[in-house]
Structure 1
Amino acid sequence: MSLLSTIKSNPKLKKIAHWLIIPPGQARPRLWVRLLVNPFVHKRGKNTVIRFNSRMDLFPFSKFEIGNSCIVEDFATINNGVGEVVIGNNVGIGLSNVIIGPVKLGNYVMLAQNIVISGLNHGYEDVSTPPRTQKVVTKQIIIEDDVWIGANCVITAGVTIGKHAVIGAGSVVTKDIPQFSVAVGNPARVIKKYDFETKSWGKI
């Protein structure tokens, strides 16, 4: 049995390991993890720029991968604590974006400013317990190649956004968006689709 399996199967060891990696009550790894562990665990592609003022809240027990020629702008936060974050090539992550796994971004995805993409929800059903302390629920978010998401959008857990879709600024995406479409609003709805026969974008 490997060391990792031993720790996972022993509640006391798991609790100690968790404390060593994460300060109590926080969702950010300790400094020694960020400096001494993550650079050797997570994959970062060539020519990718992660700005100094961004927060890479990455944990070694969950996958994080970012492809080639990407940029993560200042004040963005990426967190893989409750789910993997996998980012393709030539992806632009704008100012003050928040990405909480499980999330998968394809190639040439363009994210404007102040976007929240979160595969995480807190339970709320037990009214005798604060939602903050209830069990978290995660659902995979998939954003396929060539998607453009406008400023101030929210992408909720479990959503898939198809290839070359455009999400208008300020939209809240709660359901899947088909490929080659434009969606806007709260909740977001499709208003245009690309017609390959006429080679034009038509209104719905």
Structure 2
Amino acid sequence: MATAAERNPADSDVPVIDLSQAPGEGEAWNRPKWMIYLWSATELVLVTNPWQISSGLRTKALRAFGAKIGDGVIIRPRTRIKFPWNLEVGDRSWIGEGVWIHNQDQVTIGHDAVVSQETFITTGSHAHRKDMGLITRPVTIEDGAWVTSRCVVTGGVTVGRSALVQPLTLVNRDVGPNVVLGPPKADTKGRRFAVGARAEQP
């Protein structure tokens, strides 16, 4: 069977990065190893665990490891938080079931904001054309914003005040306040609220 180089000789000139030399992974920890391992066990038992139904217990566990969690926050089962000390969530916000916050850098979620089921927020990437070194950038989801189910939010992004991100959207650029953003190419679909309008009270 012919190798890739034999099928296309020019491919043999394409470099391959030695991943054993990639810098930066441990530098994002910001805590000693014993705390990383202790948090991993605590997360498994008290936060990610689908049998653990108490949002209050999740909140207490996250706070104990340095997360800043406001009053009335609801955190559903199967949530994953990479590093709680890099997380801030404002009052009355909701984190849906199966949300994964891979926060090697700061993730800030404002008050009355929603991150829905199975959404992935990541602050990390790699220098893919150089040495695959870790690159981290913070993510901010502002007050009242709603990132709906199964979205991906990448590092360096701000989702503006009361913006709405529709399901299955890749958010790799800033979203303005009150903007409705949706697939297939993170297109602006309109405005969430009419200008000057207030959200309806229950």
Larger RCO: 1 or 2 (CA < 8 Å, sep 6+): 2
Equivalent-residue separation in structure 1 for 2:159 and 2:97 (angstroms): 21
TM-score for the superposition, normalised by structure 1: 0.64
Letter paired with 2:152 = V
**Counterpart selection for 2:183 from 175, 182, 185:** 185
More helix by share: 2
Task: Give the CA RMSD over aligned residues.
Answer: 3.1
SS at match of 2:81: strand
CA deviation string 1:74-125 (max 9, x = no partner): 10111227x7211101011001001122210000111211000111113333
Equivalent-residue separation in structure 1 for 2:79 and 2:36 (angstroms): 20
- Corresponding position of 2:77: 74
SS at match of 1:29: helix
Structure 1 position 96 matched with structure 2 position 98 = yes
Fraction of identical pairs, as percent: 21
SS at match of 2:32: helix
Query: Does the CA-based 8 Å contact 1:71-1:92 persist in structure 2?
Result: yes
State the aligned residue count: 154
C-alpha change, 1:90 and 1:161, in structure 2 (3 Å) is: same
CA deviation string 1:42-67 (max 9, x = no partner): xxxxx962459xx96x995xx52111
- Corresponding position of 2:35: 21
Structure 2 portions without partners, runs of 5+: 1-30, 44-53
Larger gyration radius, structure 1 or structure 2: 2
Equivalent-residue separation in structure 2 for 1:175 and 1:70 (angstroms): 26
Q: CA deviation at 1:170?
A: 0.6
TM-score for the superposition, normalised by structure 2: 0.65
**Counterpart selection for 1:141 from 139, 149, 153:** 139
After TM superposition, the runs of 4+ consecutive aligned structure 1 residues lying more than 4 A away are: none
